[in-house]
């Protein structure tokens, strides 16, 4: 006889840990499965910095406790506005949060399948027996959704990689590396490659690079603050809306939400990176990649086209695609295929349509993070969105559990014993 979990949280990054902290505080029987802060610990090169301000990079616990500033204070570290924070410090903060925020110990395992089971779910992992759950929150982060340009897809292994595939760039010392992209990941990866002794070249479709400006002081005259307000996603009224009003974004028509998620807060480099990049990294701007082929010596030949239609050939030892992520349910293979196919999606895209409490059209299945950006806006692409998500999602879980009625026993694998055993395809809005 196995106990049925009220909530299983899949993923232990900023969103998963925040959800678990709120769920535990609400008295739910919660289980967290994943490697804590895996994307930050395992998929970012040494020497990277957090782009967002420390005060907007907190994980979320009830009462606003266990902040990044609190962690830094216990270590004698500075978490100051306008001063970039090392990724390693942020990763360590996430581990500290997991130990101190009241959530259960994270199970460092991999979820292999989530399937319907009675009026709940059966969660299978690589390292243990399957366990039933009343509700599930999918907070898998960005790693399942890495995006590669189509031209790179047929290259043999070893010729190209994604920017998330490297925790140590010193392996490229002395070699030419073409970095594709124009966002922070591309710009910082290229700068770190140069500083590690490699010979990077940035290739981007954009005709110019965008750089964020030095942040304005937090304390400013009232008129200036009203004209250009601070927010968790930067200064300005538009950033403030994306940051502070995700609930309002969700009320917009689906095509508008999709457009906002795809275009708002576009590629740009941090102000503190600009000098490091421009001093050491050559660029090919306004160049589109249309072909990539392997050549002798394990090298790769890139066929590029300029805005004027001219052809350019670039030979390189390796290609790093810093081309972001493409959230799509079709790539979330841990979900049972039938369950995945049954989910309502946003417009013509492949992301789940969600209720105000982050519940999908399948009762009891919740989502958090990147997959929710076309529902709630661009703040879901950043750590800052975890605060809004965690409280709303746990409230949604409590509502769903209440709607299903009290648990009247345990489960023996044949399904839960409940007052209401039906599994209606309702969609709470």
For 22-42, write each residue's pLDDT tens digit: 999 999 999 999 999 999 999
Is 233 within a domain?
no
Instruction: Let me know whether 185 and 65 are in one domain.
Output: no
**% of the chain residues with pLDDT over 70:** 94
Report the DSSP pairing between strands 176-180 and 199-204.
parallel
Instruction: Let me know whether 293 and 339 are in one domain.
Output: no
Instruction: Let me know whether 165 and 310 are in one domain.
Output: yes
Q: Which domain holds residue 182?
A: 150-211+268-321
Instruction: Let me know whether 116 and 168 are in one domain.
Output: no
Q: What's the angle, vertex CA 426, arms to CA 425 and CA 429, rounded to 5?
A: 145
Instruction: Let me know whether 294 and 335 are in one domain.
Output: no
Instruction: Let me know whether 330 and 301 are in one domain.
Output: no
CATH number of residue 116's parent domain: 3.50.50.60
Final residue of a structural domain among 321, 355, 384: 321
Predicted pLDDT of residue 405? 63
**% of the chain residues with pLDDT over 90:** 80
Specify the 3-state DSSP secondary structure of 93: helix
Label residue 227 by pLDDT band (50, 70, 90): confident
Q: What's the angle, vertex CA 248, arms to CA 247 and CA 253, rounded to 5?
A: 110
CB count in 10 Å sphere of residue 426: 12
Predicted pLDDT of residue 416? 35
Is 26 within a domain?
yes
Instruction: Let me know whether 187 and 272 are in one domain.
Output: yes
Label residue 362 by pLDDT band (50, 70, 90): very high
Is 156 within a domain?
yes
| Spatial CB neighbours of 404, under 8 Å, sequence gap ≥ 6 | 119, 134, 364, 418, 420
Q: Averaged over 167-187, what is the pLDDT?
A: 96
More confident residue, 97 or 1: 97
Q: What's the angle, vertex CA 52, arms to CA 48 and CA 56, rounded to 5?
A: 135
Q: Averaged over 270-281, what is the pLDDT?
A: 97
d(C-alpha 45, C-alpha 54), whole Å: 19
Segment among 254-268, 309-323, 331-345, 403-417 with least mean pLDDT: 403-417
244 and 236 in contact (C-beta within 8 Å)? no
pLDDT higher than 80, residue 411: no
**Residue-averaged pLDDT of the chain:** 91
d(C-alpha 38, C-alpha 32), whole Å: 13
Q: Averaged over 221-242, what is the pLDDT?
A: 85
Instruction: Let me know whether 275 and 184 are in one domain.
Output: yes
d(C-alpha 325, C-alpha 351), whole Å: 13
Predicted pLDDT of residue 412? 37
Predicted pLDDT of residue 2? 61
Instruction: Let me know whether 138 and 58 are in one domain.
Output: yes
Over residues 295-331, the pLDDT tens digits come to 999 999 999 999 999 999 999 999 999 999 999 999 9
pLDDT higher than 80, residue 189: yes
Instruction: Let me know whether 137 and 26 are in one domain.
Output: yes
pLDDT higher than 50, residue 417: no
Instruction: Let me know whether 35 and 137 are in one domain.
Output: yes
Predicted pLDDT of residue 326? 93
Which strand (E) or helix (H) includes residue 104?
none
Instruction: Let me know whether 377 and 311 are in one domain.
Output: no
Label residue 106 by pLDDT band (50, 70, 90): very high
Predicted pLDDT of residue 406? 52
pLDDT higher than 60, residue 425: no
Label residue 418 by pLDDT band (50, 70, 90): very low
Over residues 121-160, the pLDDT tens digits come to 999 999 989 999 999 999 999 999 999 999 999 999 899 9
Is 47 within a domain?
yes
Predicted pLDDT of residue 236? 87
Predicted pLDDT of residue 256? 92
Q: Which residues pair with 379 in a beta bridge?
A: none
Dihedral pair phi/psi, residue 164, rounded to 5°: -80, 0
Q: Work out how many domains the chain is built from and give that number.
A: 2
Over residues 34-89, the pLDDT tens digits come to 999 999 999 999 999 999 999 999 999 999 999 999 999 999 998 888 889 999 99
Predicted pLDDT of residue 419? 32
């Amino acid at each position: 006889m196995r106990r049925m979990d009220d909530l299983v949280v899949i993923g232990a990054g900023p969103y998963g840990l925040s959800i678990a902290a709120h769920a535990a505080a609400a008295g739910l029987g919660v289980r967290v499965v994943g490697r804590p802060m895996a994307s930050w610990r395992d998929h970012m090169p040494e020497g990277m910095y957090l782009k967002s301000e420390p005060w907007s990079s907190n994980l979320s616990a009830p009462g606003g406790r266990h902040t990044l500033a609190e962690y830094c204070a216990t270590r004698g570290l500075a978490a100051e506005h306008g001063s970039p924070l090392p990724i390693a410090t942020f990763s360590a903060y996430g581990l500290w949060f997991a130990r101190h925020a009241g959530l259960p110990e994270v199970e460092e395992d991999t979820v292999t399948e989530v399937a319907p089971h009675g009026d709940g779910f059966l969660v299978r992992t690589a390292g243990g027996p399957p366990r039933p759950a009343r509700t599930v929150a999918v907070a898998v982060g960005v790693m399942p959704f890495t995006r590669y340009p189509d031209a790179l897809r047929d290259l043999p292994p070893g010729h190209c990689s994604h920017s998330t595939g490297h925790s140590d760039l010193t392996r490229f010392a002395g070699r030419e590396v073409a970095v594709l992209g124009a966002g922070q990941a591309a710009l910082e990866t290229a700068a770190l490659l140069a500083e590690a002794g490699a010979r990077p070249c940035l290739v981007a479709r954009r005709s110019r690079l965008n750089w964020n400006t030095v942040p304005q002081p937090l304390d400013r005259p009232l008129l200036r603050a009203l004209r250009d307000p601070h927010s968790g996603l930067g200064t300005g009224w538009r950033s403030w809306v994306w940051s502070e009003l995700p609930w309002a974004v969700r009320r917009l028509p689906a095509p508008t939400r999709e457009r906002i998620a795809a275009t708002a807060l576009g590629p740009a480099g941090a102000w503190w990176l600009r000098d490091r990049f421009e001093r050491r990294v050559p660029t090919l701007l306004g160049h589109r990649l249309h072909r990539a082929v392997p050549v002798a010596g394990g090298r790769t030949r890139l066929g590029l086209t300029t805005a004027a239609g001219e052809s350019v050939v670039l030979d390189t030892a390796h290609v790093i695609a810093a081309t972001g992520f493409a959230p799509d349910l079709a790539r979330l293979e841990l979900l049972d295929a039938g369950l995945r196919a049954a989910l309502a999606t946003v417009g013509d895209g492949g992301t789940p349509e969600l209720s105000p409490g982050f519940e999908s059209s399948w009762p009891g299945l919740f989502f958090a993070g990147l997959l929710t950006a076309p529902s709630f806006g661009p703040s879901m692409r950043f750590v800052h969105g975890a605060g809004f998500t965690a409280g709303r999602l746990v409230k949604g879980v409590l509502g769903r559990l209440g709607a299903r009625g009290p648990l009247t026993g345990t489960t023996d694998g044949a399904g839960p014993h409940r007052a209401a055993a039906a599994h209606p395809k309702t969609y709470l809005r």
